[in-house]
Structure 1
Amino acid sequence: MKRTHLPLNALRVLDAAARHLSFTRAADELAVTPAAVGQQIRALEETLGVVLFRRTAKGLELTPEGGAGLEPLRRGFLEFEEAVRAMQAGQTSKTLTIAAPRDFTAKWLAPRLALYGRTDPELRFKLVAADEGLDFTEANLDLAVCLAVTKGEHEGVTVGGTDYVTVAAPDGGMDEPIGWPGSPDAQAEPLLSVADAGLAIDAATAGFGRATVPALLAAADIAAGRVIEAGRVTSDQAYWLVAPVPQWRQKKVKALVAALTAA
């Protein structure tokens, strides 16, 4: 059976106007103008082929045709509200699924999630590796982290800025650059190539050479004295926390983003 298209906005206006028996008071409730209420009612009357209101000496009056549908209409709105509450129930979950590059997780994200987890014993985290073209719906993600110039098609904020630092072993080590995908000082054939910036930092710690990596990832190793800073440059890329609008607006995602950007 083909379902009839429902003019929901106009039906909402009808409900308000019928309760108040006033286009002006209905407009106040709906935050629109009385003229807009009148237009919606006239359009609904044309769609249904009935007269819904009449003006009398006593004021606005609901016709029998208009009153006939009010009770099921209001039950329907209650059902809609129940459906919305059911769909939003997932927001009460304390589980957060996050996709992030492995080096970002190891060097920066994991310690902060551990601290954030202590604020609520019910919090649970699922960490997955960020892949190119990751589908939020298919992967059931709440938040993703990417190293990029912009946030792309999603909502997002940056963490850590765009500074890159060159790090080396405290005793100097080799003077060769360590290659990794995205390195700003990449050579055609570096002495050592690794899969990501985190491994490049570890290689520099071991004395394999110097690695130019996002400053955000190297901060803990520098602070601990495992490597020293030997230079600094600015890139056009930064780490972005991103999510589509529905996920971004979830309370649990907002709270997590606030905690991570405050760190």
Structure 2
Amino acid sequence: MKRTHLPMNALRVFEAAARHLSFTRAADELAVTPAAVGQQIRALEETLGVVLFRRLTRNLELTHEAEQALPALQQGFLAFEEAVRVMQAGQSSRVLSIAAPRALVAKWLTARLADYGRQHPELRFSIAAHEDGEMDFTQANHDLAIHFGGEPQAEGIHGRTMGDELLITVAALSTGPDAPNILSCIAHPLDPETPCVESALTVADPGLAIDAAAAGLGKTRVPALLAAADLASGRIIALDAGVPAAGAWWLTAPTPQWRQAKVRALVAFLIN
């Protein structure tokens, strides 16, 4: 019989009844009625074309066929239990796997994870760079992903925003407001109103644009979240108050991941 046709629930009932040699005790274990156990056993016997129990006056007795099959069935259920344990152990692991744009990792995420790690020294983090919008969780097994844009639209994916974002213009303190533009046009075009051809320098992402501005190569418009640490350190200054960005930073994961305490706790830390 193909595995897709296996009567798994009835086999589970049979294993309990065979172990106890009692429909009543099996029913107690499975939290069903003895009548339901009897019904499952009869259905299984009809499906297999095999008699599994001899009904005696006061108890049950396994037939030869059932007695021969029981050890393999019990080993199979033990293997199932071990497989489930392994899967649950992976989900309750002390490792948090996160995918995010490289600029966000460099300019914001690693520092936040360092702060979080000091509070939770038992945790370990695995970070993967991901630049192309929403994460396809069917292709990668991450606990959490971060992207810039709109609310996730993929089926089964839930997200929480880190709030509205501003695009601010930054430069080194020694750079004047008339300095040429530095644009991150290749991987993260957050400022579509300023075409790349007008820039003095084009770089791959806004993190590199901030570094170029800090080096005195010009001014650049970048998400305020990415510039915050360099602004606080005085490495760059803000040349304007910023304008609302067309998107926001989103923390996303498949719905089952949100049931994990480690994911919920990290998200609560990152959005505060």
* 1:242-253 correspondence runs (5 A): 242-244=252-254, 252-253=262-263
Instruction: Give the residue type in structure 2 aligned to 1:164.
Output: L
Count of residue correspondences: 256
Task: Quote the residue 2:250 is aligned against.
Answer: 240
1:44 maps to what in 2? Answer: 44
Q: What is the alpha-carbon distance in structure 2 between the residues aligned to residue 32 and residue 186 of structure 1?
A: 66
SS in 2 for 1:182: coil
> What's the Cα RMSD here?
4.4
1:260 paired with 2:261, answer: no
> TM-score, with normalisation over the residues of structure 2?
0.67
SS of corresponding position for 2:13: helix
Cα pair distance change 1:197/1:241, threshold 3 Å: same
CA contact (8 A) 1:10 1:41 kept: yes
TM-score (norm 1): 0.69
Inter-CA distance 168–138: structure 2 relative to 1 (3 Å threshold): closer
Partner Cα distance (2:123, 2:167) in 1: 34
1:3 Cα shift?
Answer: 7.2
- Which one of the candidate residues 242, 253, 257 is aligned to 1:231? 242
Aligned residue in 2 for 1:14: 14
Give me the whole-angstrom Cα distance separating, in 2, the residues matched to 1:194 and 1:8.
57
Note closer, same or farther for the CA distance 1:90–1:197 as it changes in structure 2 (3 Å cut): same
Other-structure match for 1:161: 163
- In 2: Cα distance, 1:33 partner to 1:215 partner: 62
- State the AA in 2 paired with 1:186: E
Where does the alignment leave 5 or more consecutive residues of structure 1 unmatched? none
Residue 62 of structure 2 corresponds to which residue in structure 1? 64
Task: Give structure 2 stretches of 5+ with no counterpart.
Answer: none
Q: 1:214 to 1:57 in 2, by over 3 A?
A: farther
**What is the deviation of 1:122?**
4.2
Partner SS, residue 121 of structure 1 = coil
* Higher deviation after alignment, 9-18 or 187-196: 9-18
The percentage of counterpart residues that share the same residue type is 53
- Tell me, yes or no, if structure 1 residue 216 matches structure 2 residue 225: yes
Between the aligned partners of 1:135 and 1:149, the Cα distance in structure 2 is: 15
CA distance in 1 between counterparts of 2:149 and 2:29 reads 44
CA-CA distance at 1:14 after TM superposition: 3.1
Question: Mean Cα displacement is larger for which, 247-256 or 221-230?
Answer: 247-256
* Residue identity matched to 2:44: L
Equivalent in the alignment of 2:77? 77
